């Protein structure tokens, strides 16, 4: 971490570079991350090319684009040519002009074609995280031919453990065979003798990357082939890419659920104003919506003046609605992510949440009534002449608000998906805000019925 | 899903079993999951053993233990003997007596030894998710010998892509070589010629499984060797196990952050009362803590009676504290999970959150003041003679509460870890509850200062 190492004065790019030679790619990436972009670029310039390639093949360098943009163009181009194509495309995706066009013009025509194709896939799609460095062989080869081919190309392929067998004429995907079955097979037999009985699991380039994640984890695959509209093998998504995507996804999910716009930078590395921007947006939006509670309270001004005792329980009642809503939302977000429920199951979920909310509300309602009764009996506080009616009001309001909170909280992720948003955009603060105004209305509504003619 | 398929009357275990032959393990598991445990057991009895093994090797069967317990003992034992050892241990972990002891007595002595050892590792440790079915070869073998050995054992190993080279005398781990390097190497050369320069990344059996997850994803490994206290290779954690653990972990994290006790069952499959239990605990705990707000409000009864106008902004102010706290908590939970910050960085985080909270509070404070001023000017509501002082009170309270919320929210995960809990046990409702009482005290404290001699 930047702030742990003291770089000033003694910084010598040459000796740092020398100390990194032979380290693992992820560790070189970590080391580069501990320097400012211009220092990191100076170190990269002094690294042997293959060491720099190892580091930039990792998604771990936070300032990768800035470092690349600071390198001599010629070095950056050599780096891109040697890196894995999917990672190169990743970097181009975040490069800004003019570096982007200049560098793209410099790389080999083959790489340029691949990168332009990869950049054409929508963000967060399977196509956008796939690699084009896989092993494909025609279906008329023998196992010996395939193994020989693998030995030749092994160094330049992201994985050789899944080998894709294509139709020699139509170039469509026929089968996927694993290296473990190939080396156990008869060398003179056809490659397809090592294939499983079933067709491989595949995915389209425009499918969401979450789908690649789900299939790879469900079927314990090391890679999944990406098939384009013509049935051709466009690339493969490997388990590494999926793990990186899962970690990023998990961060996004937790940040969003906490009501923060998701970001990838390290907590301690993100700039102060960038941090404010990520948080102020949601915070202000929620604040503006929550202002409706002030308006609602203004509407109940008469009741408030007559029965000040009611105000004592406002925070308690509102937070219970928010809490039950936050529970339901977190459950449904995960159930949707894990495909335990689908969009059309919304009514099943509603039918589960209503009795669940009623039961949970009843439990809290009883606790609330007991609390008020106890305080009154023990003389800890005097809720007035109509204290028992106040207790019933609080209890009944809790049932209503917890049921409403559970219901709204469980429906919010469905609503967001229905509107085309990610269901995980639902956040605990978002649900609480949705529930708060209605919570107040329920509370004062219940009070109006129960306390009519006594306090109100 | 159980409720989608209509099982009654027409259920015929034999024909269901026949239809599943040749399907992928995960799909057989899904199919079994769509039946009640007794129906599923009847289907498993009629499946060929290797098909049943494929299904039970998946972590996807929710009722796996119940189904196993319903099978004839002899079949269950054959199933365990053929399954992967780590999955067998997993199932034994959740089996209840007497099935557990009866079945453990039935399996082969070798498997019993392995299962008993795996069961001895703490829950959620690397040892508890490792497999013992790996390929290990002595360091004096040639590459040809190793490849021959792999061909012999391939069918019974979870992975053959990482091969572990051990000291022939001491049986300690010397190196890890990959199958891709082995097949590209000279068959007559020593196996270590295919090894990388660096020692393999390893982990201890009692290390947390999150550490295996972090290392596998950081270094793009397919498996990580687990080394015991004597330097011996006890097992390996594969990327599949890590992905399963990540998904489970992610579910736990989202559930907990929503204030629900984590559970693994499908949302639509968990029983009604089980669901209530998972939710009622936290909900009641939070409700009881939140009761302190009622006590706090009782303490400010005098102020409330004099300045009813103050009550209008209670929900707005309290929710802002909760929201900013929830943001900070979600950020710090992820930063800790990703090793971006460590326990001893708490003061760096505190030093970041205080100015961030102040700035965010100031933004909301200004919006709050503008809102009150605008409503007053436009004649939408009359906040009374001292409306400008009320506006200043709300603005100043917001600065204090948002700063306090950000600070408490960011420190909560550190506090939990310090006390030995998982930092991800911090939830949005938990933070909101922590902040609420203090929020009220801050609000009324600020009011007492600013409104002294006017309203109060």
For A200-259, the pLDDT digits (tens) are 999 999 998 888 988 998 888 999 999 999 889 999 999 988 888 888 888 888 888 888
Q: Least CB-CB distance to A279: which of B247, B298, B360?
A: B360
Upstream peptide bond of B108 is cis (omega within 30 degrees of 0): no
**Per-residue b/e over A265-279, b at no fewer than 16 CB within 10 Å?**
ebbbebeeeebbebb
CB of B346 closer than 8 Å to CB of B414: yes
pLDDT above 50 for B5: no
Tell me the C-alpha distance between A112 and A105, whole Å: 8
Task: Give strand ranges (E) for A196-328.
Answer: 223-227, 233-238
pLDDT at B384: 85
Domain ranges in chain B with CATH number 3.10.580.10: 135-247
Q: How far is CA B229 from the centre of its chain?
A: 27
Task: Give residue-wise pLDDT tens across range B134-185.
Answer: 999 999 999 999 999 999 998 888 889 999 999 999 889 999 999 999 999 9
The interface predicted TM-score of the complex, written ipTM, equals: 0.81
- Please return the burial class of B98, using the count of CB atoms within 10 Å of its CB with bins 0-12, 13-18 and 19+: exposed
Subunit contact A315:B314, Cβ cutoff 8 A: yes
CA dist B182 and B74 (Å) reads: 41
Q: What are the tokens at A163?
A: 């080998």
pLDDT greater than 60 at residue B209? yes
pTM over 0.95: no
Q: Using the beta-carbon criterion (under 8 Å), do A243 and B239 form an inter-chain contact?
A: yes
Range list for CATH 1.25.60 in chain B? 13-120
More confident residue, A85 or B400: B400
Helical H segments across A120-208, by residue range: 126-129, 143-153, 179-184
- Burial class of residue A380, CB neighbours in 10 A (0-12, 13-18, 19+): exposed
- Predicted local confidence at residue A2, as pLDDT: 42
The fraction of chain B above a pLDDT of 90, given in percent, is 43
Q: Do A184 and B246 touch (CB under 8 A)?
A: no
Alpha-carbon distance of A444 to B296, in angstroms, equals 21
Rounded to whole angstroms, the Cα distance separating A313 from B291 reads 8
Res A389: pLDDT: 92
Q: For chain B, what percent of residues have pLDDT higher than 70?
A: 98
Residues of chain A with CATH 3.10.580.10: 135-239
pLDDT winner (highest mean) among A109-118, A369-378, B122-131: A369-378
Please give the pLDDT value at position B8: 53
Is residue A205 within 8 A of residue A234, CB to CB? The reply is yes
Cross-strand bridge partners of residue A224: A237
pLDDT value at position B233?
93
Instruction: Decide if B308 and A320 are in contact by the 8 Å CB cutoff.
Output: no
In the CATH hierarchy, which fold is given to the domain comprising A272-450?
Answer: Tetracycline Repressor; domain 2 (1.10.357)
Q: Kindly report, as residue ranges, where domains of CATH 1.10.357.20 are found in chain A.
A: 272-450
**Cβ–Cβ gap A218/B60 under 8 Å:** yes
For residue B9, what pLDDT band results from cuts at 50, 70 and 90?
Answer: low
Please state which architecture CATH assigns to domain B135-247: Roll (3.10)
pLDDT digits (tens, 9 = 90+) for B88-99: 888 888 888 888
Nearest chain A CA: its distance from B207 CA (Å): 20
**Which whole number is the average pLDDT over A187-211?**
92
pLDDT at B59 > cutoff 60 = yes
pLDDT band at A8 (very low <50, low <70, confident <90, very high): low
Contact state of B308 with A297 under an 8 Å Cβ cutoff? no
Report the candidate in B398, B290, B368, B301 with the shortest Cα–Cα distance to residue A311: B301
A280: closest chain B residue by CA = B360
Res B434 pLDDT > 60: yes
In degrees and rounded to multiples of 5, residue B84 shows phi and psi of -70, 145
Q: How far is CA B125 from CA B129, B207, B219, B245, B341, in A?
A: 7, 6, 20, 11, 22
Residue B180 tokens read as 């891709």
Question: Does pLDDT of B1 surpass 80?
Answer: no
* Cα distance between residue A286 and residue A291, in whole Å: 9
**CA dist B269 → B2, B62, B253, B266, B311 (Å):** 8, 9, 20, 5, 44
- Residue in B1, B154, B219 nearest the CB of A184: B154
**pLDDT surpasses 50 at B221:** yes
Q: What is the mean pLDDT of residues A379-393?
A: 89
DSSP 8-class letter at A351: H
pLDDT at A5: 47
The residue-averaged pLDDT of B357-368 equals 95
Chain A contacts of B267, Cβ < 8 Å? Answer: 331-332, 334-335, 340-341, 349, 352
- Point out the residue among A267, A280, A363 whose CB comes nearest to the CB of B284: A363
Contact A319 B220 (CB under 8 A): no
Angle between helices A99-106 and A85-94 (to 10 degrees): 150
Query: Do the beta carbons of residue A200 and residue A175 sit within 8 Å?
Result: yes
Region B395-416: what's the mean pLDDT? 95
CATH number of A13-120, picked from 1.25.60, 1.10.10, 1.10.3470, 2.60.120? 1.25.60
Residue B105 Cα, gap to closest chain A Cα (Å): 31
CB contact under 8 A, B3 and A161: no
Which 3 state secondary structure label does DSSP give A201?
coil
Please write the tens of the pLDDT for every residue from B235-255. 999 998 888 888 888 888 888
Closest listed residue to residue A86, CA positions, set A129, A150, A138: A129
Mutant choice from B283, B288, B365, B424 vs A, greatest count of A C-beta within 10 A: B283
Burial class (CB in 10 A: 0-12, 13-18, 19+), B136: middle
Query: What mean pLDDT is reported for chain B?
Result: 89
Q: Compare all CA atoms of chain A with the CA of B25 and give the residue at the minimum distance.
A: A219
Strand partners, B135: B163
| Minimal C-alpha gap between B147 and chain A (Å) | 8
CATH of A135-239, one of 3.10.580.10, 3.10.129.10, 2.60.120.10, 3.40.50.300: 3.10.580.10
Q: Using 50, 70 and 90 to split pLDDT, how confident is the model at B266? A: confident
Element (H, E) at B163: strand B162-166
């Amino acid at each position: 971490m930047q702030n742990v190492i003291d770089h000033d004065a003694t910084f010598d790019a040459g000796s740092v570079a020398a100390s990194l030679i032979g380290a693992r790619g992820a560790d070189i990436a970590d080391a580069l991350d501990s320097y400012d972009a211009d220092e990191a670029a100076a170190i990269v310039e002094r690294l042997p090319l293959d060491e720099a390639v190892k580091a930039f093949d990792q998604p771990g360098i936070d300032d990768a684009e800035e470092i690349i943009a600071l390198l001599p163009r010629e070095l950056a181009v050599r780096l891109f040519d040697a890196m894995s194509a999917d990672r190169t495309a990743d970097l181009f995706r975040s490069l800004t002009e003019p570096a982007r066009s200049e560098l793209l013009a410099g790389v080999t025509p083959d790489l340029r074609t691949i990168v332009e194709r990869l950049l054409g896939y929508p963000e967060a799609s399977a196509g956008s995280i796939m690699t084009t460095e896989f092993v494909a062989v025609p279906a008329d080869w023998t196992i010996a031919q395939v193994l020989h081919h693998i030995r030749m190309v092994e160094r330049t392929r992201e994985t050789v453990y899944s080998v894709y067998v294509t139709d020699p004429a139509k170039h469509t995907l026929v089968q996927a065979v694993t290296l473990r079955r190939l080396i156990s097979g008869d060398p003179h037999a056809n490659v397809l003798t090592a294939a499983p009985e079933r067709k491989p699991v595949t995915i389209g380039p425009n499918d969401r990357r979450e789908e690649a994640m789900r299939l790879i984890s469900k079927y314990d695959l090391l890679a999944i082939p990406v098939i384009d509209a013509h049935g051709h093998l466009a690339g493969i998504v490997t388990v590494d890419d999926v793990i990186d995507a899962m970690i990023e996804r998990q961060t996004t999910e937790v940040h969003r659920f906490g009501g923060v716009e998701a970001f990838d930078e390290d907590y301690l590395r993100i700039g102060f104003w960038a941090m404010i921007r990520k948080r102020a947006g949601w915070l202000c939006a929620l604040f503006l919506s929550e202002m409706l509670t002030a308006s609602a309270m203004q509407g109940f001004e008469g009741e408030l003046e007559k029965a000040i005792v009611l105000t004592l329980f406002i925070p308690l009642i509102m937070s219970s609605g928010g809490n039950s809503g936050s529970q339901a939302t977190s459950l449904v977000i995960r159930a949707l992510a894990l495909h335990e429920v689908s969009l059309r199951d919304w009514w099943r979920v509603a039918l589960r949440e209503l009795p669940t909310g009623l039961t949970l509300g009843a439990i809290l309602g009883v606790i609330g009534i007991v609390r008020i009764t106890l305080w009154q009996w023990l003389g800890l506080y005097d809720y007035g002449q109509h204290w028992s009616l106040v207790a019933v009001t609080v209890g009944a309001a809790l049932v209503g608000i917890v049921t409403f909170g559970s219901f709204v909280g469980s429906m919010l992720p469905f609503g967001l998906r229905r509107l085309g948003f990610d269901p995980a955009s639902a956040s605990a603060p978002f649900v609480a805000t949705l529930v708060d105004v209605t919570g107040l209305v329920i509370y004062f509504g219940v009070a109006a019925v129960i306390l009519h003619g006594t306090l109100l």
